[in-house]
Chains A and B, each alone.
Chain A
């Protein structure tokens, strides 16, 4: 689902227009108009907002990187070996559907309230998604392809490099894209607890402690930019690494 730039710009303008209309109709401080918020957003960037954004970006990126590095190879190993697949798949089947948000309190108990717990939660959300998609991808690789490569000398290393890795890339990127929404949501939840940095904290603090609504909305915008930016990066990587998917 790669979008065109012009369409996205138009959609963004449309949304801003709707927001402005809603603000004019509601006429209350809890819904300031976009112009007010954008002004505050720029001003807050000069204050601490960039710092909060950076903290959130680090947590979500670290969690994603960790999950790709661990789940993708694991998915390949499981998918490429029927024996491992038989052994592990029932376990995945049980754990996969659990909404990972329910693990928030448990992970916080075990890993404390620092960055480690937040990164671990993002990791957990993405891990199963990537594991399952990469495994299914590896299972679906036609045996004829493997045999062709083995006949020209490919062993395990060459199969990984020339078959499983390139075959998994689209699955990894799809898993990332599917999980961005949940990852950002869980990030928000974890940042409500005992931290002084992160967009979750920033939004909550401005909204319910300082009652600074324009700043709160500036935080929401920053969060939206974080999520949207990740979509853009994933799309960009897909066009770069999976060009063959778009060739027809």
Chain B
């Protein structure tokens, strides 16, 4: 589904974060991107989301090169993703309103428009009905993250990108949302890519784990983790990733 081919990218030309980097994702896979702060995880998501562009090489999704954000891709950033002046309901409906603003022009919105307003369904499904008329500042962190998920699912994506989605939540909420995210993606047939700096989270969510290290990243180092989402953690893989990150950690520039 995603084909990252020989890309090079850096915010400054002298210190590239990725250099000739290649990585492939198949449809329906659940990926975790793991690595220490500053290694380029968020940047890789921005490249996949079509918000930044490689200086060399190419990224294509579903066979199409990425030149702008793709309507079928949902992006959830850690904080700040919700409009503070809009209620939960308005935030969930935001994507629909943006599409209504442009019409199905095939650029900002897909040519075939969504036929029904799925916002009420997702608000209900994610347990947000009671807080639907509240502002983001009035709800919990977990509810905010649920709102962001609902907003994305309303647009019926086939690919979901999440940047450290649960890192600021308490352990129980974090566990619940991890579980919810996995089951929703499986149910809706969504390919999932989650960025995290926590090994536990990578092991909980990623059936495959892409480990990034000190830039520039040239090789995709991939770890298979078939036990993701089954409630128990692969200790041996945990230790292996721990050792890898420790080895890399010293050479990563502090963020």
Query: Taking A244-B135, A244-B137 as contacts, is the C-beta distance between A150 and B51 under 8 angstroms?
Result: yes
A197 to B87 alpha-carbon distance, docked (Å): 47
Q: Pick the contact of A151: B75, B79, B109 (CB < 8 A).
A: B75
List chain A residues, Cβ under 8 A from B138: 247-248
Size category, B interface: 35 or more
A151 to B75 alpha-carbon distance, docked (Å): 6
Interface 1/0 per residue, A166-191 and B, CB below 8 Å: 11000000000000000000000000
- Number of A-B contacts defined by CB within 8 Å: 84
A147 and B137 contact, CB distance less than 8 A: no
A247 and B80 contact, CB distance less than 8 A: no
Question: Closest chain A residue to B100 by CB distance?
Answer: A158
A144 and B80 contact, CB distance less than 8 A: yes
Query: Taking A142-B80, A163-B83 as contacts, is the C-beta distance between A151 and B51 under 8 angstroms?
Result: yes
B137 and A248 contact, CB distance less than 8 A: yes
Stretch at the interface among B32-40, B91-99, B195-203, B223-231: B91-99
Cβ distance A151 to chain B, nearest Cβ, rounded Å: 4
Query: Taking A158-B108, A247-B135, A248-B138 as contacts, is the C-beta distance between A148 and B80 under 8 angstroms?
Result: yes
Question: Closest chain A residue to B50 by CB distance?
Answer: A151
Query: Taking A154-B108, A155-B108 as contacts, is the C-beta distance between A149 and B98 under 8 angstroms?
Result: yes
Q: Pick the contact of A153: B51, B80, B102, B134 (CB < 8 A).
A: B102
List chain B residues, Cβ under 8 A from A157: 101-102
B81 proximal to A (CB < 8 A) = yes
List chain B residues, Cβ under 8 A from A154: 98, 108
A50 proximal to B (CB < 8 A) = no
A157 to B94 alpha-carbon distance, docked (Å): 14
Q: Pick the contact of A158: B71, B98, B152 (CB < 8 A).
A: B98
Q: A152, A153, A154: which has the most chain B beta carbons within 10 Å?
A: A152
Question: Closest chain B residue to A152 by CB distance?
Answer: B95
A150 to B108 alpha-carbon distance, docked (Å): 9
A145 and B69 contact, CB distance less than 8 A: no
List chain B residues, Cβ under 8 A from A142: 79-80
A74 proximal to B (CB < 8 A) = no
B84 proximal to A (CB < 8 A) = yes
The count of residues in chain A whose C-beta lies closer than 8 Å to any C-beta of chain B is: 24
B85 proximal to A (CB < 8 A) = yes
A145 and B81 contact, CB distance less than 8 A: yes
B94 and A162 contact, CB distance less than 8 A: yes
Cβ distance B34 to chain A, nearest Cβ, rounded Å: 21
A242 proximal to B (CB < 8 A) = yes
Question: Closest chain A residue to B46 by CB distance?
Answer: A147
Query: Taking A144-B77, A144-B81, A152-B94 as contacts, is the C-beta distance between A161 and B46 under 8 angstroms?
Result: no
A242 to B124 alpha-carbon distance, docked (Å): 27
List chain A residues, Cβ under 8 A from B77: 144, 147-148
Query: Taking A145-B81, A244-B135 as contacts, is the C-beta distance between A151 and B99 under 8 angstroms?
Result: no
Interface residues of B in 73-131 (CB under 8 A from A): 73-86, 94-95, 97-99, 101-102, 107-109
B137 and A247 contact, CB distance less than 8 A: yes
B151 and A152 contact, CB distance less than 8 A: yes
Cβ distance A147 to chain B, nearest Cβ, rounded Å: 5
Interface residues of A in 226-248 (CB under 8 A from B): 242-244, 247-248
Query: Taking A153-B99, A158-B108 as contacts, is the C-beta distance between A244 and B71 under 8 angstroms?
Result: no
A151 to B73 alpha-carbon distance, docked (Å): 8
Cβ distance A113 to chain B, nearest Cβ, rounded Å: 43
Query: Taking A144-B80, A158-B101, A244-B137 as contacts, is the C-beta distance between A153 and B85 under 8 angstroms?
Result: no
Interface 1/0 per residue, B126-157 and A, CB below 8 Å: 00000000110110000000000001100100
B49 proximal to A (CB < 8 A) = yes
B98 and A242 contact, CB distance less than 8 A: no
A247 to B137 alpha-carbon distance, docked (Å): 7
List chain B residues, Cβ under 8 A from A243: 135
- Known contacts A145-B81, A153-B69, then 5 further A-B pairs from the complex at CB < 8 Å, ordered by chain A residue: A144-B78, A151-B50, A152-B75, A153-B108, A247-B138
What would be 20 A-B contacts, judged by CB atoms less than 8 Å apart?
A144-B81, A148-B77, A148-B80, A148-B81, A149-B98, A150-B51, A151-B50, A151-B51, A151-B69, A152-B75, A157-B102, A158-B101, A162-B94, A162-B97, A162-B98, A166-B86, A242-B85, A244-B84, A244-B85, A244-B137
